[in-house]
Amino acid sequence: MSRNTVGTDAPAGTRNRRRTRGTRRTRNAPRRPGYGRLLRTPGAWTFLLPGFAARQPFAMLTIGIVLLVQHTTGSYGTAGAVAAVTGVSMALFAPQSGRLADRFGQRAVLIPGVLTHTASAAALIALALTDAPLWALFVAAVPTGASVPQIGPMVRSRWAALLSGPSGTSSLLPTAAAFESVTDEFTFVIGPVLATALCTGVHPAAGLIAEAALTLVGGLLFAARRATQPRPGRQGTAGPGEPGEPRTSALAVPGVRVLAVAFLGIGSVFGGMQVSLTAFAEEIGAPGVNGVLYGIFAAGNMLAGIVCGAVAWTIGPRRRLLFGYTALTVVASTLWAVNSAPLLAGLGLLVGLCIAPALITGYTLVESLVPASARTESFTWLTGAVALGQAMAVTAAGQLADAHGASAGFLVPLVGTVLALTTLVVLRSRLAPKASGRVTARGMGHREPVAVD
C-alpha cells in the first residue's frame, strides 16, 4: 500500500509540477506570428493592394526629378536643389496631413491631396521641358512635395486599428510593422529601377509622368476603401496616454523627436546614394546601371525586413535600434572609398541590410510612445524626417558630385548617420515607453507591466 501511494500520488504531483513548468515555458517562449496569419486578417487586402500602387510614387519622385532636371540643365547640383525643395515641402506638410487624417479621416485628406499632386507634377514636368528659370521649378516643386499622399503612414494606421481592440493590442502588430517596412523597401526596389528605365529608355520625363499617374489612380482607389479607415479622432484603442487627454502634436513626445533625428540619418543614406549612384553611373559611361545598383541596395533592405519580421526578438527595441544603427553607420562610412561597380553593389547590399532593422524598430517604438489618436501624425513625422534627410542629402551630394565627383557625394551618408547615431546614443533614455498606469501603495509607485515588442 505504501508502494502504491508512492507510485501514484507522489509521482503524479511531480508530473503535474513538471507539466505546469513546461506549460509556463511554452507560454513564455517568444513567438512571432507569421506573415500568413497577418495577411489573413479580415479586410487587409482591400487596402493593401491599392496602397501598394499608391506608395510607389514615393520611391520614384526624387530620382524622377533628378534625372529630368539634370537632363534639361546638365547639372546635378541644380537637379538636387529642385528635388530638395520637393523633399523639404513633403517633410513640412506630411505631419500636418497626418494630423488632419487623424482628425477628419483619411479620405478627406487623400482626395484633394492626390488631385493637387497630379496637377503640380504635371506643371513641374512642363516647366522643366520648356527650359523655365530655376525659380519657376522651385515654385512648382513646393506643391508637388507638399501634396505627396502619405500612404505608408495611413496603411500603418489601418493595421493598428484592425489589430487593436477592447482586449488590447494584437501580437500581430510587430509583424505588421515589419511587413510594412518590407513593402516600403519593395517599392524602393521597383520604383527607382522603373523610373530610371523610363527616363533613360523612353523619355526624360517618363519617370515623373508614371509617378503622377500612379499617385492619381492608386490614391483614389485607396481612398475609396472606407471600411478599414480608422475612425476620425481616434485611431484604434487608447495608447500610452489617458483617454480624453488634450490633443497635442506627436512631436511633443521626446522619443518621437529622437526617432525623427534617427530617420533624418536614414534619409541621408537614401538621398546620398540616389544622387551619388547616378553620378557614378555617368562617370563610368553606363547610366543604365544606376537603377540596378540602387535596386540591389533596396533589395538588401527588403531582405533584412523580411527576416526582421520573422524573428522573435529577445533583445529590447532600444538596444536593437542602437546595434542596427551602429552597423549602418560603419558600413555607410566606407562608400566614398569604393570606385568599382561590383564592389559598390556589394557594399550597397550591406547598407540596405542595415537600414531595415532601424526602420522597423523605429516604427515599432512609436506604438509605445504616443497615444493611439496620434498614430498617423507620428508615422508621418518619421516619414517626413526621411524625406527631409533625403532632400538635404540630395542637395549636398549633388553639389559635391558636381565639384569633386561621385565619390565625394558618398560622404553625405557618412556624415548623416554619424550625427544621427550620436544623438541616439546620447538621448537613448527618451525612447523608454511612457507608463500606461501608476498606482500608489504605502508611499511607493508601482507601474503596471508593459509588454515590449
pLDDT given for residue 170 in this prediction = 65
pLDDT tens by residue, 63-112 = 899 889 988 988 878 888 898 888 888 878 888 888 888 888 888 889 99
pLDDT band with cut points at 50, 70 and 90 for residue 120: very high
**Per-residue cell: 333:** 562610412
Angle of helix 106-129 relative to helix 151-162, nearest 10 degrees, comes to 160
Task: Of 238-252, 298-312, 364-378, 379-393, give the range with the top mean pLDDT.
Answer: 379-393
What are the Cα distances from residue 76, in Å, to 111, 282, 396? 33, 11, 10
pLDDT given for residue 245 in this prediction = 46
What are the Cα distances from residue 279, in Å, to 286, 352, 397, 406, 412? 10, 19, 10, 5, 14
- Could you give the 3-state DSSP secondary structure of residue 438? strand
pLDDT band with cut points at 50, 70 and 90 for residue 434: low
pLDDT band with cut points at 50, 70 and 90 for residue 166: low
User: What's the mean pLDDT in 235-245?
Assistant: 41
pLDDT tens by residue, 402-415 = 888 888 889 999 99
Higher per-residue pLDDT: 375 or 355 = 355
pLDDT given for residue 165 in this prediction = 60
Backbone angles phi, psi at 189, to 5 degrees: -80, -45
User: What's the mean pLDDT in 285-311?
Assistant: 77
pLDDT given for residue 414 in this prediction = 92
What does the DSSP assignment read for 378-407?
Answer: HHHHHHHHHHHHHHHHHHHHHHHHHHH-HH
pLDDT given for residue 93 in this prediction = 86
Q: Which of 84-93, 141-150, 225-234 bottoms out in mean pLDDT, i.e. has the lowest? A: 225-234
User: What's the mean pLDDT in 126-147?
Assistant: 92
107's enclosing H/E stretch is: helix 106-129
Pairing of strands 168-169, 438-441: unpaired
What are the Cα distances from residue 119, in Å, to 85, 122, 158, 317? 17, 5, 28, 41
User: What's the mean pLDDT in 12-38?
Assistant: 54
Q: Which of 127-136, 259-268, 307-316, 420-429 bottoms out in mean pLDDT, i.e. has the lowest? A: 307-316
pLDDT given for residue 212 in this prediction = 92
Distance CA 206, CA 71 (A): 12
Question: Is residue 181 within 8 Å of 411, Cβ to Cβ?
Answer: no
362 has pLDDT over 70: yes
pLDDT band with cut points at 50, 70 and 90 for residue 437: very low
pLDDT given for residue 387 in this prediction = 78
Strands (E), 97-244: 164-165, 168-169
pLDDT mean across residues, the chain = 78
Q: Find the DSSP H helices in 31-105.
A: 35-39, 44-73, 76-104
Distance CA 294, CA 129 (A): 26
pLDDT given for residue 439 in this prediction = 36
* Burial class of 114 by CB neighbour count within 10 A (0 to 12, 13 to 18, 19+): buried
Model confidence pTM above 0.95: no
pLDDT band with cut points at 50, 70 and 90 for residue 169: low
- Mark residue 203 as left, alpha or beta (left: phi above 0; alpha: psi -120 to 50; beta: remaining): beta
pLDDT given for residue 236 in this prediction = 42
User: What's the mean pLDDT in 122-130?
Assistant: 94
Distance CA 366, CA 248 (A): 15
Instruction: Give the CATH class of 42-162+169-237+249-434.
Output: mainly alpha
Distance CA 66, CA 62 (A): 6
pLDDT given for residue 6 in this prediction = 44
Task: Of 23-32, 33-42, 218-227, 280-289, give the range with the top mean pLDDT.
Answer: 218-227
pLDDT band with cut points at 50, 70 and 90 for residue 160: confident
**Per-residue cell: 143:** 506643391
pLDDT given for residue 189 in this prediction = 67
